[in-house]
Amino acid sequence: MDLDVVFLGTSGSVPTAQRAPSALLVRRGGERLLFDCGEGTQRQLLRSTVGLVELREVFVSHFHADHYLGLPGMLKTFALRGREVDLTIYGPPGLVRLFSSLKRIFGKLTYEVRLEELEAGDVLERDGYNLTTFAPAHGVSAVGYAFVERPRPGRFDVEAADALGVDPPERGLLQRGESIELEDGRVVTPDEVLGPPRPGRKVVLAGDTAPSPIVLEAAREAEVLVHEATFLDEERERARETAHSTALEAAELARDADVSFLALTHLSNRYFGPEIAREARTIFPDTVVPKDFDVIDVPFSERGSPRLVRGGVRRRREEVVEPEREEAVP
């Protein structure tokens, strides 16, 4: 089951020529979960190899404009394409009130938009994973999101199965956790042929936040922590005033939370990226500062470590294809 994190917008507060405002896509198997939707996100999707897919769920971290201003236009575009499938938008308390204002912009849609306000500590149970929420320290109604896969069955011990005389057709049952009865009447239980359950993957999206013990706990032992680094540490005072973090602070938190891989985002427009990475790596070497259209692959731990794929979803000019007729709108 593939899992990756696609960076669609990595600027803080205001866009730059290189970086769009906040937006991030988590892809797991066929699922596409969008986290935050800054101005221009629909076009960032169109400019990527992902395309403007029929998202089913959008998760908003908080209601500063750079995190949601792409929603009205994207909702409108879906409607102009004649979308019929529901869309659910999650966010902290205040979501419903915000949409009573935004509705004036996007008007009547061709599909239903469901709004779900989430409190810190809420858990959304999904097929194979949970999304849990926590409270970042940003001074406003906000939630961070922890994507936590459920443990997988242990490794199948082929030698043990051979020794017990379990034939291949019955091995699948054991692997799925069921006991079987052999022809001679002996019962074989899964724990006789399976190793200990293997952990799932954990990806934590902290959102905009000052350094916070709550975020630290939420991030504990994550494969990937996506944390903001709006400033360098020389601007720590400004970071405190605005409830943001410095690269150094984010790195300290990643180290203390024992995460595997740290991705820094939400850069102030005074920074370009390399200086943010350099500062963080003095504390936490496995740090990257993704650009827009970069991807972080998150393999199962036994298959390797998370890695940054530069321009992983950047669309080459020759990949531009004619839009599907059914997606065309006036």
Q: Which residue lies nearer to a second copy by CB, 281 or 315?
A: 315
Query: At its nearest, how many Å lie between a second copy and the CB of residue 291?
Result: 12
Q: Which residue lies nearer to a second copy by CB, 40 or 306?
A: 40
Query: At its nearest, how many Å lie between a second copy and the CB of residue 74?
Result: 9
Query: At its nearest, how many Å lie between a second copy and the CB of residue 50?
Result: 11
Query: At its nearest, how many Å lie between a second copy and the CB of residue 42?
Result: 6
Q: Which residue lies nearer to a second copy by CB, 132 or 209?
A: 209
Q: Which residue lies nearer to a second copy by CB, 30 or 100?
A: 100
Helix/strand/coil (H, E, C) string of the chain?
Answer: CCEEEEEEECECCCCCCCCCCCEEEEEECCEEEEEEECCCHHHHHHHECCCCCCCCEEECCECCHHHCCCHHHHHHHHHHCCCCCCEEEEECCCHHHHHHHHHHHHCCCCCCEEEEECCCCCEEECCCEEEEEECCECCCCECEEEEEECCECCCECHHHHHHHCCCHHHHHHHHCCCCEECCCCCEECHHHCECCCECCCEEEECCCCECCHHHHHHHCCCCEEEEECCECHHHHHHHHHCCCCEHHHHHHHHHHCCCCEEEEECECCCCCCHHHHHHHHCCCCCEECCCCCCEEECCCHHHCCCEEECCCCECCHHHCCCCCHHHCCC
- Catalytic residue flag (residue 127): no
Point out which residues bind a second copy (CB under 8 A).
12-18, 20-21, 39-40, 42-43, 46-47, 65-66, 69-70, 72-73, 76-77, 80-81, 101-102, 104-106, 230-231, 238, 242, 244, 268-270, 272, 315, 320, 322-323, 325, 327-330
Q: Which residue lies nearer to a second copy by CB, 156 or 272?
A: 272
In the set 66, 208, 292, 294, the catalytic residue is: 66
Query: At its nearest, how many Å lie between a second copy and the CB of residue 255?
Result: 24
Active site (catalytic) residues? 66
